[in-house]
Amino acid sequence: MSAKADPDLKAVTGSLTRKAPSLPLTERLIAMPVVLPLLTFAVILVLWESATRVFAIPSFILPAPTRIIEGFSAVPPARWGAHVWATLRVALIGYLVAIVVSLPIAVGLAKSRLMSRAFYPLLVVIQSVPVVAVAPIIIVVLGTDDAPRVVITFMIAFFPLVVSMTTGLMATPPELIELSRSLRAPQYREITQIRLPYAIPYIFSGLKISVTLAVIGAVVAEFVAADVGIGFFIQFSTSMFRLPQAWAGLVVLVAMSLLLFQAVSLAQRVFFPWSLPKERR
Amino acid sequence: MPVAQNAIDFRAVGQVFATESGPLTALDAVDLSIAQHEFVAVLGPSGCGKSTLLRLTAGLMLPSEGAVSVFRQPVTRPRDDVGIVFQQATLLPWASVLDNVTFPAKHKRGRVSAMDRDRAAEVIAAVGLKGFEARLPAELSGGMQQRVGIARALFLNPDILLMDEPFSALDALTRDAMGFELLKLWQASPKTVMFITHSIPEAVLLADRVIVMSARPGRIIADIPVPLGRPRDETALRAPEVQDFAAHLRDLLIAKEAAQ
Ligand SMILES: Nc1ncnc2c1ncn2[C@@H]1O[C@H](COP(=O)(O)OP(=O)(O)O)[C@@H](O)[C@H]1O
Ligand SMILES: [Mg+2]
């Protein structure tokens, strides 16, 4: 190499290393995890607040964010706690019942073509029934305690679970099923040691969808008949024209759904890290 | 056939599948004997019934016609003395290398004993994966994953090893290296091997005998010993008579394709 080439090379690499850390601002924002969505959210809040003031929008049409915050303090914390607990309890029980019921059904659908032919259309029919319309009937039949609300929650949360579990249980590589048969292992171990773990990624996508649906189910049930719960609170506040309060209830619901969704995601990351795509482990 | 005991026998075996477009003859009048500790390669285009041949030997299905026997016993269900290696390693993604290798014990008997773990350490070392016991499959290369697949098949120490295009998903270099290592394993602990492939060089490198099949219906059109002693290396493969043999196999495969 000639002596002259060296400084040139240095100049090139020098400019490269100088450039690398100063990515354009937009690129850096995209790379940061939470900043951009929070920023968007803050901008929307500011626009919202100013719009309600500039155009003097009445709070029963669209309350300003500051008015919604006031709506929170209109109700004592203990009362909020009671509402949240009522909704959360029904949502979680309905969700758990949906999980416990959908698992054996999914195993049956995945393992037996007979069962899948016989019951799958029925499931689709049940899924097509608008739960909101059936809710009043269920309340009449089952009374007004937790039972009918759990049933309504279950009905909404159940179907995505069955579908994702069944799909997952059938996604096992056929070679592993042949390996299982070649070992003459007991049938149930094909399910517990091969099919179920293989279905974990599918099951979790169903679990994530269903957990937010469970909250919707609990709220729908409270709309129909309840004297406590966030759904009841929103309906009651609206009927009293206390719209900022109703919006505060809505904010609580959104927070609840988000937290539950994140809890399910976290459970997957902690207990089944291998089931996530590589870049998200 | 001489006195040497046959490990695998096919007598007039036919296999017909019911499909939506009518019956499909996957195998027709297949006669085949494989002696104990013989290494036989089955060569043919895809869809000619190679995997079906393997599944029948493994007892994963029963023939529609004729009889399949292993060590002179008719095959009616899977046997303990037959191990299978698949085209894809198909490991359990949540289980470590060690747990994947001991999986047959856990799956068959419900538990893994200390003896099982010793045996697993042995086969893991034999396939060259010592030190990788705790890794997950996703952390291994394709070649290493298939080594785990082979270790899993060897774990129960089968007399017969059935391999269904085990290296076809690997890149060419890894593939050659795996071939030589398989030969080493086989020489260290002789087994009857039915090795399915559609690669002529692979068949020539590995096998004592090559079975050539034609498609639709799957038939055996040639059954020829490989004119090559052992041990084998790359140089032996370049000998003119070996090249002629490979060319002959190629002609057989092409001729029957043309005839269709
Ligand atoms: N279980 C089955 N049902 C219906 N057809 C099958 C089945 N298994 C294999 N076949 C058909 O039989 C033929 C041979 O299959 P296979 O033995 O897998 O071929 P190869 O392994 O040589 O590619 C193919 O045409 C395939 O579609
Ligand atoms: Mg095949």
Contacts of B138 (CB under 8 A, 6+ apart): A274, A278, B93
Of A182, A189, A274, the CB nearest to B60: A182
Separation of CA B214 and ligand 2 centre (Å): 13
Tell me the sheet residues that pair with B35. B6
Q: What is the pLDDT of residues B181-194, one digit of tens each?
A: 999 999 999 999 99
Residue B102 located in a structural domain: yes
Rounded Cα distance, A235 and B81, in Å: 69
Q: Which residue's CA is the closest to the ligand 1 atom numbered 20?
A: B47
The whole-number pLDDT of residue A280 equals 61
Lowest pLDDT segment from A4-18, A227-241, B51-65, B71-85: A4-18
Average pLDDT score, chain A: 88
Please tell me the number of Cα atoms within 13 Å of A29 on its side-chain side. Answer: 9
Question: Using one digit for the tens of pLDDT, what is the confidence trace for B4-42?
Answer: 689 999 999 999 999 999 999 999 999 999 999 999 999
Domain boundaries, position B99: 91-157
Q: Is residue B241 within a helix (H) or strand (E), and if so which, with residue range? A: helix B240-259
What would the mean pLDDT of B86-109 be, rounded to a whole number? 96
Q: For the CA atoms of A129, A130, A134, A136, what is the dihedral angle to 10 degrees?
A: 180
Ligand nearest to the CA of B52: 1
CB distance from B121 to chain A under 8 Å?
no
Which residue intervals of A21-145 are DSSP H helices?
25-31, 35-54, 65-73, 77-111, 113-128, 131-142
Per-residue pLDDT at B260: 55
Assess contact for A90 and A218: CB atoms under 8 A: yes
CA distance A140 to B54: 62
CA–CA separation, A189 vs A196, rounded Å? Answer: 10
SS3 A50: helix
> Which atom from ligand 1 is nearest to the alpha carbon of B196?
21
In a domain, B39, yes or no: no
B194: three-class secondary structure by DSSP: strand
Contact B104 A272 (CB under 8 A): no
Residue of A183, A198, A203, A278 to mutate, testing the B interface (most B Cβ within 10 Å of its Cβ): A183
- Chain B residue numbers with beta carbons less than 8 Å from the beta carbon of A182 are 58-60, 78, 82, 84
Between these two residues, A9 and A72, which has the higher pLDDT value? Answer: A72
Count the neighbouring beta carbons within 10 Å of the beta carbon of residue B97: 27
**CA A7 to centroid of ligand 1, rounded, Å:** 66
pLDDT of residue A262: 96
Residue B110 inside a domain? The answer is yes
Q: Do B107 and A200 touch (CB under 8 A)?
A: no
Domain membership flag for residue B256? no
Q: What would the two tokens of residue B28 be? A: 């027709």
Give the pLDDT mean for A242-267: 95
B188: phi then psi, degrees, rounded to nearest 5: -70, -35
pTM of the predicted structure, to 2 decimals: 0.84
CB-count exposure of residue B94 (10 Å: 0-12, 13-18, 19+): middle
First to last CA, chain B: 33
- Which of these ranges, A125-134, B86-95, B117-126, has the smallest mean pLDDT? A125-134
Q: Is residue B219 part of a domain?
A: no
Interval A203-229 mean pLDDT = 94
Sign of CA dihedral A236, A238, A243, A247: positive
Residue A33 clears pLDDT 80, i.e. is over it = no
| Among B211, B215, B225, B188, residue whose Cα is nearest residue B46 | B215
Q: Is residue B152 part of a domain?
A: yes
For chain A, give the percent of residues with pLDDT over 70: 91
Q: How many domains does chain B have?
A: 1
**Residue B138 in domain:** yes
A189 to chain B: nearest residue by CA?
B107
Residue whose Cα lies nearest atom 12 of ligand 1: it is B26
- Whether B185 maps to a domain, the answer reads no
- The C-alpha atoms of residue B120 and residue B142 are separated, in whole angstroms, by 20
Per-residue pLDDT averaged across A31-54, rounded? 89
Q: Which residues line ligand 1 (CB under 6 A)?
A: B 17, 19, 24, 26, 44, 46-52
Highest mean pLDDT among A106-110, A130-134, B172-176: A106-110
* 3-state SS, residue B195: strand
Residue whose token pair is 């004297």? A227
Better pLDDT: A176 or B217: A176
A181 vs A225, higher pLDDT: A181
Q: Separation of B201 CA from ligand 2 center, angstroms?
A: 18
Joined together, the tokens standing for residue A215 give 């909250």
